[in-house]
Structure 1
């Protein structure tokens, strides 16, 4: 087994009991309702909920660029709040791959052929994750992956792990199951079933994919170059290419997107391109800018 991939205890009955009703939920209608509710600007509605949310999840507002939670026009603006300058320094130099988000390591390690480890006894398919195109998945076969879970208390903007040029984006429609640890243990192929947006980059480590996975109440995913990609959910996979002379180029640590409410990010790299930081392990906490691993930069000409 890859030393960075954990094999926690298998699912228990309570996990199945929590997950079973989710098959019956009207995922997208519920998420559309939440999308509207979190943009309500009425102070009598949004202020009490925001106060409750800060208390319930222990939000550290000292890190926010705007520390007054009631100063935001609506709850979603608070939820996707910017950090104050210097709150997330980037580790190392350009050869260091940094965490794109605040969150918890769900799993990380090696991709076995086209299989990615989800939880004990469960894996999911690389090609399906990336929208069903084998050519799109080929650069990542036998590569490396990291799955990072964002809880409600976390910072919800997504940043570049490495400097890179955008080469493509894919929107893959799907369900919106919860992605909490209990659900991850019991729902087969969870991350390849939920709605997601895949951003593909060319970097000094070769191809890199940043997969933004939606979840229940998380039907809205934005990127800095395209704005809100979903909703609407759509029914077919949509893909966009970006010519090299027109493609956005983002530096390491620059914002690339955000979740309107929270979910999971999956990073993908090619074979023998990345050496994970040996201190990382499943279940460990991360902060945006923290070192995930390192690459070998091309020799200067």
Structure 2
């Protein structure tokens, strides 16, 4: 048995939510000694470039989470033409939504319907369209931005597990992104409907949006759907949310995307980098 498969298997019996909430409490600790030790250790371990941050002093952040979701200086991530990456990370998979199915990893597909919380009507919008998945590792910048300009029409909280979403787990846990806790954000764009799915993961303490603040964790584990009577318009490149510890963004587009030449699964991308054109 490979180490990656063993890593995936040992996650099944773990109390995902309990572990994540405990880590979340530690990440919100305001004791200077504990907080500064966590931040400095993390910077050394992952080689974080603090020169890119608006606040380059690691000790200036009130909590580890504040450091982890730090803002970047203007111009550090220029916004390119066309469809752009919503985050720093790895473009783990991308392509056509074939027969309502998205690629998770080689040999593994999952349905758009399941990803969107069982919403058949929403899933039909993306038949024949395209998708792209960006994995944010712990070392990446953890704010999520708009790949296109759009108007938010609905937000859906979908309860689920909190498996890790790294490469080892995506190769061995079937339907991973449709099993984990997630936040589905539906937008209307000039290029047609777009869904941005912020997927929770092991030790991800919370998911936030710019329009509603912290969404997960919720006290009740029921699917919740929120529609917006007052339009919320966000321009391409604008921040739309953030992860408190790393995770994944899955994007679905109703129209086919002409992905940029040279892109391959696993390619390193930065927020604002062009992924192609619709």
User: For this pair of structures, how many residues does the alignment match?
Assistant: 278
**Is 1:247 aligned to residue 236 of structure 2?**
no
**Is 1:290 aligned to residue 273 of structure 2?**
yes
Q: SS in structure 2 opposite 1:140?
A: coil
Map of 2:7 onto structure 1: 18
TM-score calculated relative to the size of structure 2: 0.98
Q: Aligned equivalents of 1:219 and 1:21: distance in 2?
A: 20
Map of 1:263 onto structure 2: 247
Contact 1:176 1:219 in 2 (8 A): no
Alpha carbons of structure 1 residues 36 and 199: separation in structure 2 relative to 1, 3 Å: same
Q: Aligned equivalents of 2:74 and 2:275: distance in 1?
A: 22
Q: Aligned equivalents of 1:252 and 1:222: distance in 2?
A: 18
Mapping 1:34-53, distance limit 5 Å: 34-53=23-42
Alpha carbons of structure 1 residues 233 and 51: separation in structure 2 relative to 1, 3 Å: same
Alpha carbons of structure 1 residues 136 and 198: separation in structure 2 relative to 1, 3 Å: same
**Is 1:157 aligned to residue 146 of structure 2?**
no
**Quick one: which of 206, 214, 233 aligns to 2:192?**
206
Map of 1:224 onto structure 2: 210
Map of 2:165 onto structure 1: 179
Q: Aligned equivalents of 1:68 and 1:38: distance in 2?
A: 18
Contact 1:162 1:253 in 2 (8 A): yes
Q: Deviations over 1:174-204 (max 9, x none)?
A: 0000001011100010000000001110001
Q: Aligned equivalents of 1:294 and 1:234: distance in 2?
A: 40
Contact 2:129 2:254 in 1 (8 A): yes
Q: Deviations over 1:31-62 (max 9, x none)?
A: 11111110101011111111110000010111
Shift of 1:235: 2.2
Shift of 1:280: 1.3
Q: SS in structure 1 opposite 2:171?
A: helix
Contact 2:89 2:270 in 1 (8 A): yes
Q: Aligned equivalents of 2:227 and 2:99: distance in 1?
A: 26
Contact 1:173 1:233 in 2 (8 A): no
Contact 1:97 1:161 in 2 (8 A): yes
Mapping 1:27-176, distance limit 5 Å: 27-92=16-81, 96-176=82-162
Q: Aligned equivalents of 1:198 and 1:292: distance in 2?
A: 21
Q: Which 4+ residue blocks in structure 1 deviate beyond 2 angstroms?
A: none
Contact 1:76 1:260 in 2 (8 A): yes
TM-score calculated relative to the size of structure 1: 0.90
Q: Aligned equivalents of 1:14 and 1:29: distance in 2?
A: 25
Q: Aligned equivalents of 2:182 and 2:127: distance in 1?
A: 20
Q: SS in structure 2 opposite 1:36?
A: helix
Map of 1:276 onto structure 2: 259
Q: Aligned equivalents of 2:195 and 2:263: distance in 1?
A: 20
Between structures 1 and 2, the one with greater strand share: 2
Map of 2:178 onto structure 1: 192
